[in-house]
Amino acid sequence: MSGLPGLRGNDHIGFTVPDIDEAHAFFVDVLGCVQIYRLGPFPSQGTWMSEHLNVADSTTMREIRFYRCGNGSNFEVFQYEAEDARLLPPRNSDVGGHHIALYVDDLDEAVAYLHAKGIRVLGEPTESRGPSQGQRWVYFLSPWGMQFELVSFPQGKAYETEAAVRLWDTRQ
């Protein structure tokens, strides 16, 4: 077998937010995640920040919180204090652009829920084609503008009928 020795899968997704209390309310009160624990603060110490985290040495990591959200990867949420911080989240088309996709059983029910919570949903659900046929999806934004996606494919996706290897599936 080639590749990274011992690789088992994705443990967590880490990202930075501008206000950790606002993010906490979003993850717990809107998405239904559970906070597991928190760490910090970690003030700057010599060159540790640049050597280990690729941020300016004057940066302080104010707090880290860990969340579990259903049956999937954990979230590691940071709030930093950094003089050179970029305050706008990247778009999907930007280098480093990203989104976090969450599987839901009923996409229409989940979209209605987000609307009722005042969350900005981008457009209407889209039906995928080609190998992803059977899936519907829609993007939405966190209060600080980070991109999330809801996906649902209760009957599976078209590629599964002939695939020797399937994508990891939160339904299983």
Stretch 41-57: mean pLDDT: 94
For residue 130, pLDDT over 80 is answered with yes
For residue 1, pLDDT over 80 is answered with no
Stretch 145-161: mean pLDDT: 97
Stretch 39-49: mean pLDDT: 94
**CA 16 from centre of chain:** 11
**Burial 136-158, CB ≥16 within 10 A → b, else e:** bbbbbbbbeebbbebbbbeeebb
For residue 2, pLDDT over 90 is answered with no
User: Given the DSSP bridges, would you call strands 74-81 and 60-68 parallel, antiparallel or unpaired?
Assistant: antiparallel
Q: What is the pLDDT of residue 9?
A: 87
The rounded distance, in Å, linking the Cα atoms of 137 and 102 is 10
Which residues, including other chains, have CB under 8 Å from residue 163's CB and lie 6 or more apart?
none
- The answer to whether residues 134 and 157 touch, using CB atoms and an 8 Å cutoff, is yes
Is the pTM higher than 0.85?
A: yes
The rounded distance, in Å, linking the Cα atoms of 122 and 147 is 10
- Amino acid type, 116: A
Q: What is the pLDDT of residue 171?
A: 83
